[in-house]
Structure 1
Amino acid sequence: MAEEGGAPAATEKIIHTYPLIRHSDMSEEMRNEAMELSVTACEKFSHNNELAARMVKEAMDKKFGPAFHVVVGESYGFEVTYECTNICYLYFGGNQAICIWKCS
């Protein structure tokens, strides 16, 4: 669409209010738990990514056994080694990325 004068309209930024999974090979139960924990943590600690990551890690360790790692943030890249069927990478709230994986 064009505004008056022929200038193109500015594109609006779309912010998703639901978790968007980019990659996961977790079981359905573990993936659902990871998604719910991530949403809760990001809403509770919206201004502190470290506390959000700690909350998700501790809950995943308690429910599925130790050695989970969690990164919460914006604009990061990663390359990790993980146990098969134990990684989930998702977005929440637009550009907030959460990566959860387990190492042995």
Structure 2
Amino acid sequence: MARTSVPDVLAAIRGVDFPAGKDRLVTAARAASAPEEVIKVLRGMPSERYANREEVARSVRVDPAADLDHDAAQRIERAREGGRPGLSQHLREEPRTPIQEEFGR
């Protein structure tokens, strides 16, 4: 199974003028002959208007291993920034609280 990364997605939408909607991003990626995995990632985003490339980067779901080229501080900062409310975010495990541990939730 092929994997994609945030830089791959951003490269596919390089020529897009923002703000832009999801449909425009998908169309631009197809016009740029982006790989099918990148198109799938863009189609999986919520139908919102994105103000810039950073909002797109925070909204796409990619393989968690795509961050392997970042150091720990960069990954922490990226996780702290999150995305706009209601948008998809990078999948990550959150630590369980002591109460959740005690009750097995």
**Same fold flag (TM > 0.5):** no
Structure with bigger gyration radius: 1
The structure richer in strand per residue is 1
Q: Which has the higher contact order (CA 8 A, sep 6+)?
A: 1
